[in-house]
Structure 1
Amino acid sequence: MTDTLSGDTARKSLTGTLQLDTRLLGMIGAFVAICLVFHLMTGQRFLTPRNIFTLTIQTASVAIMATGMVFVIVTRHIDLSVGSLLAVCSAVMALVQVWVMPQVLGLGVGHPATAPLAILAGLLVGAAVGAFNGWLIGYLTIPSFIVTLGGLLIWRNVAWYLTSGQTLGPLDPNFQLFGGINGTIGVTASWVVGALAVAASLWFMWTARQKKAGHGFPVKPLWAEGVMMAIVAGLILGFVAILNAYQVPAARLERIFAARGETMPEGYTEGYGLPVSVLVLIAIAVAMTVVARRTRFGRYIFATGGNPEAAALSGINTRLLTVKIFALMGALCALSAVVASARAANHANDIGTLDELRVIAAAVIGGTALSGGVGTIYGAILGALIMQSLQSGMAMVGVESPFQNIVVGSVLVLAVLIDILYRKRSGALK
């Protein structure tokens, strides 16, 4: 008994010294367990570089929207229209590429302005629709559940009418670079990005330590800081190494060399490297984390979610804040539409179907409290990765789609239950 207590105390002491989030550790443990189980069940095919590469590009679209859903749920709202809004943005961008640019403006296929203008059009539409939803919720006080449930039905069918129910494609080659397999930066550039990411992470960790010490807050011992820096650097470089290990098929390399009028050298190999869509997700994750932690807008979001009445009395314009949050959510839906449609190389009517449930589930599994006031960007991304790992793993072992949805729904309910029990135990919920 004494040995057990001393072991528990030692583990708690180590966790406290390293200042680790026990909830985050639990999610990481669950993710690792899922990966190991599916790796064994699939004959060691789940944790291969190829499957991890595929997993990352499949996760990107939902994860991008999940970062915005954190802000929505933190302020005690919900957005059920994100999948339909993604479809509208995708339809608008596809129309710009296959009709407006070549037929209306007379610009040829692959024109440098096509992809930027299409993305800009999608962002404007997404932000405008999101802001409209926010206005209905914030100023007309219609419950967000009703507004976005209506949006789920409305915008999905608006997208259908925009395209007359047709699949539009192929999309612009430059636009397809955001889709994953069609857009990677190569091995060398990936190592450069990885090194820069490590340097930036270590710099942020060290400056955060100095700021805490400067304000008289307790800081980790230097050895603990070094351990955390080593873990972060190892994770970043390990991730880059795994994606670099995924080799471009020889037949594809031969076609690339032939297109340049060259002959591929004997034994030549080349890795894909980091996908552009993953780089977009990382950039958005960093930006949203900075917004959440370092800006007045982010502080207002969490203050409003913690106590809306007190936030309003303190001078926060909660109505305008709601409009801004939903406009941001709409813009993120447009970015997700870029990634999703670029990966498919066309716009299809079923794009984004059920994404609203996946996005909400990712945010909740990642620790965002439905009661408001609590949530993290990295948690939502990890939640999206867990969701995609579950679906991909079940598909690889031959689980039927209906049962996959049963499992995902069960995991969502279980995640909420664990959240409630965790908050009760920590005293945050009474």
Structure 2
Amino acid sequence: MKNTTQLAEKVEGEPIWTRFLRATEIDARLLGMIAALALIWVGFHLYGVIINDFGAFLTPRNLWNLSVQTASIGVMATGMVLVIVTRHIDLSVGSILGITGMCMAIMQVRILPEIFGLGHPMIWIISIITGLIIGTVIGAIHGYLIAYHGIPAFIVTLGGLLVWRGVAFLLTRGETISPVDTTFAKLGGGPYGAIGAGASWAIGLLGCAAVFWFMIQGRRTRARFDFPQRPIWAEGFVAAVSCASILGLVMLVNAYPWPKGIVKKYVAENNIDTPINEIFISHGFAIPVLILIAVGVGMTFLTTRTRFGRYVFAIGGNPDAAELAGINTRWVTVKIFALMGALCSLSAVIASARLGSASAQLGQLDELYVIAAAVIGGTSFAGGIGTIYGAILGAVVMQSLQTGMVLIGFDAAMQQIVVGSVLVFAVWVDTLYRRRAK
């Protein structure tokens, strides 16, 4: 009982909102991002209602597509968190995505079919493994130049941005490589790249079970080390909100049905007698979204539960002190950039599968959106501060802005102006936050 009251005790003159945040241990910046996201969504939807008498933003179709579009940027943003936390920057992520996507497409279209035959089940697997290896090696090269030769990350990755984009162009002289393997294409989403209603509910219930398991394990760990416990009401509140969010997301993705044209084809192929208008087949979670969730969980575990993660934040907090403490900062830097390259390759899988092809322009300007997502998500350029969930939420914010501007008719130039302004504003907010925290 002693530990419980330590987090819930009342401080003289302290606002109730502050006590609530301390008891639940909810990050105030996270709430700020959620509020900003809600404002963006409602604002774009109401704009559509006012101008066109129909709001297209807050619909299952748009939000489902938004989740798929966010996946590629979100995966890379999780790696950018580690890069920025250690006071570096990676401007080459879009070009690495482009070169690895091109290599995977060439493997599927020109090389592996000659070896295994068209449609062989190993084609897409070998292609992905090849892309992951190439991305990891490129990232490791960048990290080696930064860590062991003292070249600033800005210069190395700026050079990488130009070099790898040029290599991607030279591989095919600017040609678009298509079509990719049919199984590989499912990794990009779409009606055939989603898991359906039943599997989505299973994942949702599994997620809720995981929430309760982590709550119980967290309380046991705190009790073992005599750390302050959250009040029971706070634990219940966090668990209820988390489960409600998960189940609400499941309901959303299940509310988006297959298009009628695809349903018609499905009915014909399976000799179904039910009229098409009476058939409702849910998309469920798209595979790219599941990839993003898996990466988010894995990267969160890596940063919060492993020695490597502790080293990353120690280096970001004070590089000299980390070096004196015995941390091999240069080797950690190489691993961070190698991981960033691997995540770029995984994003290339999603991006090229979604398009069904690869071109030299694949991933162009993605570095802007990835950096912006990480910074908007609370990662500080001063180093030592950043969260994986914040970066993913930042990616959702960035993609929401893009999608909303497309729906209301903003051209590409205006979209870039808005994104650039949001990035500068996010850095300014981070600067103010750090000043007040001192």
Shorter-chain TM-score tier: over 0.9
State whether residues 85 and 384 of structure 2, in contact with CA within 8 Å, keep that contact through their aligned partners in structure 1. yes
Asked if the contact 2:142–2:157 (Cα under 8 Å) also holds between the matched residues in 1, the reply is yes
- What residue number does 1:145 align with? 154
Indicate which of 131, 135, 147 corresponds to 1:122.
Answer: 131
Alignment-derived partner of residue 180 in structure 1: 189
Q: 2:226 matched to 1:227?
A: no
Q: Which residue does 2:169 correspond to in 1? A: 160
State the shift of 1:264 in Å. Answer: 4.5
Could you say which residue in structure 1 is the equivalent of 2:291? Answer: 280
Q: Does the 8 Å CA contact 2:373/2:393 hold for their aligned counterparts?
A: yes
- The Cα offsets for residues 382-406 of structure 1, whole Å up to 9 and x where unpaired, read as 0010000011101101112111111
Amino acid in structure 1 at the alignment position of 2:156: V
1:303-314 correspondence runs (5 A): 303-314=314-325
Mapping of residues 323-362 of structure 1, within 5 Å: 323-362=334-373
Question: In the alignment, is residue 47 of structure 1 matched against residue 53 of structure 2?
Answer: no
Residue 174 of structure 1 aligns with an amino acid whose one-letter code is T
Shift of 1:142: 0.5
Q: Which moved more, 1:266-275 or 1:294-303?
A: 266-275
Judge conservation of contact 2:138–2:341 (CA < 8 Å) in 1: yes
Q: Quick one: which amino acid aligns to residue 392 of structure 2?
A: I
Superposed CA offset, 1:44-83 (max 9, x none): 2101000000000000000000000000011111000000
TM-score (norm 2): 0.94
Partners of 1:211 and 1:30 in 2: CA distance: 34
Partners of 2:315 and 2:19 lie apart in 1 by 34
Note the 1:64-143 alignment, pairs <5 A. Answer: 64-103=75-114, 105-108=115-118, 110-143=119-152
| Deviation at residue 164 of structure 1 after TM alignment | 2.0
CA contact (8 A) 1:254 1:263 kept: no
1:38 aligns with 2:44: yes
CA-based RMSD of the aligned residues comes to 1.3
For residues 392 and 265 of structure 1, what CA distance do their matches in structure 2 show? 34
Shift of 1:214: 2.2
Which residue of the partner structure matches residue 22 of structure 1?
28
2:302 aligned to which of 262, 266, 291 = 291
Question: Conserved in 2, the CA contact under 8 Å of 1:62 and 1:355?
Answer: yes
**257-266 or 205-214, which moves further after superposition?**
257-266
CA gap 1:422/1:191 in 2 versus in 1, 3 angstroms: same
Residue in 2 that maps onto 1:406: 417
Residue in structure 1 matching 2:389, options 369, 374, 378: 378
Q: Specify the SS of the correspondent of 1:174.
A: helix
Q: Tell me by how many angstroms 1:197 deviates.
A: 0.9
Deviations 1:70-129 (A, max 9, x none): 0001111100000000000001100110011112x0412x21101110100000000000
State the distance in 2 between where 1:206 and 1:53 align.
32
Selected match of 1:240 from 220, 229, 250: 250
Amino acid at match of 2:434: R
Deviation of residue 12 (structure 1)? 1.7
For 1:351, what is the secondary structure of its paired residue? coil
What is the CA-CA distance between 1:204 and the residue it aligns to?
0.9
User: 1:295 & 1:19 partners in 2: Cα distance?
Assistant: 22
Whole-angstrom CA distance in 1 between matches of 2:417 and 2:211: 39
> Which residue number in structure 2 is paired with residue 171 of structure 1?
180
Residue of structure 1 equivalent to 2:436: 425
Q: Which runs of 5+ in 1 are unaligned?
A: 1-5
SS of residue paired to 1:42: helix
Question: 1:7: Cα distance to partner?
Answer: 11
Separation in 1 of the partners of 2:245 and 2:69? 20
Q: Report Cα offsets for 1:326-369 as digits up to 9, x if no partner.
A: 00000000000000000101112211000001100100110101
C-alpha displacement at 1:209, in angstroms? 2.1
Instruction: Report the AA paired with residue 390 of structure 1.
Output: L
Number of aligned pairs?
A: 420
Distance of 2:334 and 2:367 partners within structure 1: 19
User: Which amino acid in 1 is paired with 2:98?
Assistant: A
Tell me how far apart the structure 1 counterparts of residues 212 and 45 of structure 2 sit (CA, whole Å). 32
Q: How much has 1:262 moved relative to structure 2?
A: 4.2
2:263 to 253, 264, 270: 253
Work out whether residues 38 and 46 of structure 1, in 8 Å CA contact, stay in contact via their aligned partners in 2.
Answer: yes
Match of 1:62 among 56, 73, 76: 73
Cα pair distance change 1:59/1:231, threshold 3 Å: same
Distance 2:301 2:39 in 1: 30
- The amino acid that maps onto 2:203 is V
The CA deviation at 1:269 is 1.2
2-side partners of 1:135 and 1:14: how far apart?
46
Q: Identity rate of aligned residues, in percent?
A: 52
TM-score, normalising length: structure 1: 0.96
Instruction: Find 1:12's aligned residue among 18, 24, 44.
Output: 18
CA distance in 2, matches of 1:166, 1:359: 26
Q: Which runs of 5+ in 2 are unaligned?
A: 1-11, 50-54
Report the equivalent of 1:3: none
